[in-house]
Amino acid sequence: MKQISKRLMNWASILDDQTLAQAERTSGMPFIYPHLALMPDAHLGKGATVGSVIPTDGAIIPAAVGVDIGCGMIAVRTQFTADQLPADRKPLREAVERAIPLSAGNYNAAISPTAEARLDALDELAEAAGFNPGNYAKNWELQLGTLGSGNHFIEVSLDEDDRVWLFLHSGSRGIGNKIAQHHIQVAQEYCARHFITLPDKDLAYLVEGTDEFNRYIAELRWAQTFALLNREEMMDRLIRRFEDWIGSTIVETERVNCHHNYTSREGHFGRNVWLSRKGAINAERGRPGLIPGSMGTRSYVVVGKGNPLSLNSSPHGAGREHSRSSAKRTFTMEQLEENMQGIEWSHSAAFLDEIPAAYKPIDVVMEDAADLVEVVHELRQIINVKGS
C-alpha cells in the first residue's frame, strides 16, 4: 500500500496517470472521511474511479456508486468433481444460453415460477420505499433473471481439488441503470441550484437530510436488492440446466453472493459514514467474497482480513487496462482463441474486447491484495457464457 496523500491510500501497483488524477479529484471532495481507498484493480470510471472505496460523511455521490447498482457475483460449490462430468460440455452451454436471456436489451418473455416470489418481495420493498419501478422501466419484472453484456458472465469452473463451481456476474440490469442515471442528473441539478462548484460534473452529490438524498437512498437500496435477487434467479436456472446435463441433483456445499457496486452505512475510524464501493467488495474480517479474473483467466473465492486502512474492502476483479475500442484495435481473434483453449465457449468475435490482455493481470491484482484478503479457492473456467 502507498499513501498518496492524507485523503488517498493506494493498493494498485499498476495505475495510469488519468486514473490517479481522477482518484485525487474524488478524494478532495470536502465530505470524504477519513480517506479514499484505491483498490489494486483501479481504472478510469464515470466521475469516480472504478476500483475505489469512497466514504462520505453527510453527503453521497450517485456516480461514485456506479450506474450498474448492486452489480456483483454469486458462486455455488457443488458436490461434483471434474471426473463426474460428461465429456461434451457444449450441450450445457447451449442450454444455459436458452434458459437465461443474454446481452443488453434482452429480457424474459414471461415471468418464471421461481421469479414470482422474488418479484413479490421487490414489489413490497418498492411500496415501502414509496416509488413505482414501472416509472423507470415498464418491463422491469421481465428483467429479473437476465445477464446483460460487457464483462458479465456465467461460468462452470473447477477449484484446486477439481470440485465443480457454478459462478456468475451481473447486476440490476436496465432498471438499475435508469435509476442511477436519474439520480446522477438530480445530483447535478441540485449542485447547480445551490451554486456548488465541482471539479467534475459527475462528482455531483446529494446532501444528507434532503428529500433528494432520501429518495436516492430508498431507490438505491431497492436496486441493490433487485441485483442480489437477479443473481439468485439466474443461479436457480443454471443449477437446473446443470442437473439436466449431468442427470443428478446438485447438493450445495458453499454459496457466496456479494455486491461490488453499492453503498452501505458503516462505521470507520470512529464515525458512521456512507461507504460506496465502486468496483470493490466488503472484506471485513472473516467475510467470504468473490474476485473474478478476466475471460479465460482464474477467479478466486476469498475471505476478508478486515484491513482498516482499506475500509474493510478488496478488489472486485482484474480491472481494465484497455478500453473496449482499444482492445478491438489491439488484439486479434487468434489471440483470444489461444487464451480460451480448453474452455467451452461460443467462439464469437463479439467478445474480443474481453480478451485477458485488455485487463490487468489477475495475478498482480491478487498480489497487491495480499493484505486485504486470503485466498480460499482458486477457480479455473471450463465453460463460459457471455452476452454480446
- Name the residues annotated as catalytic: 316
- Which residue(s) pair with 302 in the sheet? 289, 375
Crossing angle of helices 211-246 and 90-99, rounded to 10°: 140
Note whether 57 and 35 are within 8 A (CB). Answer: no
Instruction: State the Cα–Cα distance between residues 7 and 5, nearest whole angstrom.
Output: 5
H or E stretch including 351? none
CA distance 182 to 328: 31
Q: What angle do CA 240, 245, 248 make, to 5 degrees?
A: 70
Q: What three-state secondary structure class fits 25?
A: helix
Instruction: Locate all alpha helices (DSSP H) within the chain, ordered by sequence.
Output: 17-27, 90-99, 113-129, 140-143, 173-193, 211-246, 324-330, 333-339, 362-368
Q: Determine contact, residues 274/263, Cβ cutoff 8 Å.
A: yes
Distance CA 80, CA 275 (A): 38
**Parallel, antiparallel, or unpaired: how do β-strands 206-207 and 72-81 relate?**
unpaired
Q: Which residue has the cell 495480499?
A: 370
* CA 325, 327, 332, 333 torsion-angle sign: negative
Radius of gyration of the chain from Cα atoms? 20
Q: Count the neighbouring beta carbons within 10 Å of the beta carbon of residue 236.
A: 16
Nearest-angstrom CA–CA distance, 108 and 327: 31
